[in-house]
Amino acid sequence: MIYEDISSAGTSIWLDDLSRSKISGHDAHSLPSRVGKAGVVGVTTNPSIFNSAISKGTEYANDIQSLRSSTVESVIQKLTTDDVRSACDLFADISRNSLDGRVSIEVDPRKAHETQATIDEGVVLWKIINRPNAMIKVPATLEGLPAVTDLISRGISVNVTLIFSVERYLQVIDAFISGLEIRASNDQEIASVSSVASFFISRIDTAVDERLKANSSPKAKALLGRAAIANAAIAYEAFENVLRSPRWKALAKKGGHMQRPLWASTGVKDPAYEDTRYVIELVAPHTVNTMPQATLDALLDHGNYRGENLSSTYERSHAIIAQLAEVGIDLREVTTYLELDGVNKFIASWEELLANVSQVMKS
């Protein structure tokens, strides 16, 4: 089976989707079915996913009505943390025996540029869910980085999200390791702390391809669809370098588990590209690929893992990034824009969710 091949090669399959119906359902798209028949060993969520689930899911209506005397923010907190707790229970056995079995919940994206507010909400969400296999999702903004360090130092597992550039990814790794070092210096255990770094993929190609198509040169056209995977490969190279560093080895001796790269935004946006490319071409040891349902379905239906490891593409990937610069693509400008755009899109989804739940509370 394709999912067994990918898992054996070191990439864990997580689902980028969550709703109450998926947790309790028994059809082919339910979480219990995905765990048993598709190799799914974790779940990620974001404000857009919760907006879709709660706004369209009739199973939430009674709970919303019963909480009409509460604020809309507290209603959303109750609904989302209940779902994440239930999903954590579903994956409890997996999490006891591996780094997988994790379920992420994101802090309010409106706090993405507020360090202390992010820390405070992360602590609250962790306590409410009260499950060791939960993960608090923190945006990788400059203000989010010290929040990552603080939460990790408290023993709270973190999913650092909205990473687009290798430069920011290195800062994320440093923030994570710094948190573990604080715990270790205080003689606190570090083996129970887990983290992933969510490196976004398809949005890179979408943004870069738009710029390449505005360039009429054959060299530019030849680079279409090549930026995202090359960028991810260079990030993975950085990950491997950190694994070999004396700084990390010191923590590993104390039981620390390295923060794994997680490939996010792996649904293909351009129909001209193979719909499983952001899975098949990103297989590597110690990684996670979180897929939207459509991508997982495509993988199970016709995915073909050819056995190539991401680490074999480093030279080619560096060459691609250099060629992009030669045709005028400023990858730093692209990734800076995508981080701002990503935060804004999550804020828009969150505000839409607030409005939708508020409307149901008034009905």
Q: What amino acid positions are annotated as catalytic residues?
A: 137
* Nearest-angstrom CA–CA distance, 142 and 125: 21
- Select from 22, 23, 26 the least CA-distant residue to 86: 23
Q: How far is CA 320 from CA 191, 202, 223, 311, 335, in A?
A: 38, 16, 7, 15, 16
Structure tokens at 344: 């804004």
* Nearest-angstrom CA–CA distance, 145 and 236: 19
* Nearest-angstrom CA–CA distance, 236 and 289: 13
* Nearest-angstrom CA–CA distance, 120 and 126: 10
Report yes or no: 331 and 321 within 8 Å, Cβ to Cβ. yes
Report yes or no: 297 and 211 within 8 Å, Cβ to Cβ. no
